[in-house]
Structure 1
Amino acid sequence: MVIDKILRDKNIRFKEKAEKIKVILTDVDGVLTDTGIYYGPQGEALKRYSVRDGMGIERLRRYTGIETIIITGENSAAVKSRAEKLKMAEYYLGVKDKTEVLEIIKKKNGFVKEEIAYIGDDSNDYDVIQKCGFTASPADGMSFIKEIVDYVCETKAGYGAFREFAELIMAFKNVT
C-alpha cells in the first residue's frame, strides 16, 4: 500500500535523524507546561509541569547521555526551579532571540545542526526550529509550527509531549 510505504519512508528518515541526536533543546510554555499561568497570593507565577516529561528528561540522560537544555523567553523562578530540580546543566531564561542562544550552545558544546533536536510550539520557536536536525511540536502547537517540524506529537503540551518526543528518539536509538 502507498500509505505503508509513506510511513516506512518517514520512519527511516526519523531513525536517521534520531540516531545523530546528542542534545534536546526545549521551550517551556507550550511544551513543558500547558500554556496556563497561575498566580499565587503574592502575585508569583506558578506553572504546572508533567512528571512524565521530567521522567523523559531523566531517562534521556541516564540511558543515552542526551542532555536537555531549556531555551525560553520566560524569566521566572518557577522555570529556574524546575530546571534545577531536573539537574539541567544548562538552561537559558529570558531569551529574546533563540537562534543566538542556539549558536552559543553549538559553540560551547561543539554540536552541529544534525546533533540537535528541538521541540517548540509557537512563533518564537520558528527560526530556531529551522536550524536544528530533528524537530517536534506538541499536538496543540500552532499550525504554522506543526507544518515545519519533523514530528507532531499525539500528546498535548504539559501532558507528556516532551516525553513522547524523548521516547521516540530513544526508540530509534534502540533504547527502551
Structure 2
Amino acid sequence: MKSTIRTMKITLDDLKGPEIAALLQEHLDDMRATSPPESVHALDLNGLRQPNIRFWTLWDDRNLAGCGALKWLDAEHAEIKSMRTAATYKQQGVASQILQHLINDAKAAGVQRLSLETGSMTFFQPARSLYAKFGFELCGPFADYVLDPNSVFMTKNI
C-alpha cells in the first residue's frame, strides 16, 4: 500500500543518517551517469555540510521520501540544491512538497530570488517541468556557473 503525502513530515536534516547518505549517493550516481563530469554540479555530503546551506528531508514515518536544500549565495539570493525523490515515492507529490517548503523557508529568511541549475538532457525534463510549474523561468548562469550546453539555469523572484 502506498502512503499518501498527508502523512509526511519535513525535517531540517543534519546529514548524518544512513538513509540520506544512500539517497544522495543515488542522486550523485544518476548525475554522473547522465552528465559529463564538468557538468555535474551536485554536492556530496561534505559539500552540503556548509554553514550557508540548509538541508531538508521529507519522511513518511521512518521512510525517507525525498530531500532538498537551500544554499545562500548572499542575503537576498539563494540556490536550490539536491532536490531528489526516492524511487518508491516518485509521482506522489514529494518534489512539489519539498519545493514549496524551500520557497517558503527562503521567503521567511528574507530571500528575494531563488535560482537553480539542472540538466538540459531528457532525463531532467520532469525537474524542469516542476520548476516551471512553480514559476521558475529560464535565465543565464549565476554565482560561479558558466554557460554549458548540458545545463539549464532557472530563477524566480519571491
More helix by share: 1
Same fold per superposition (TM over 0.5): no
Structure ID, larger Rg? 1
Higher relative contact order, chain-length normalized (CA < 8 Å, sep 6+): 1
TM-score by length of 2: 0.32
More strand by share: 2
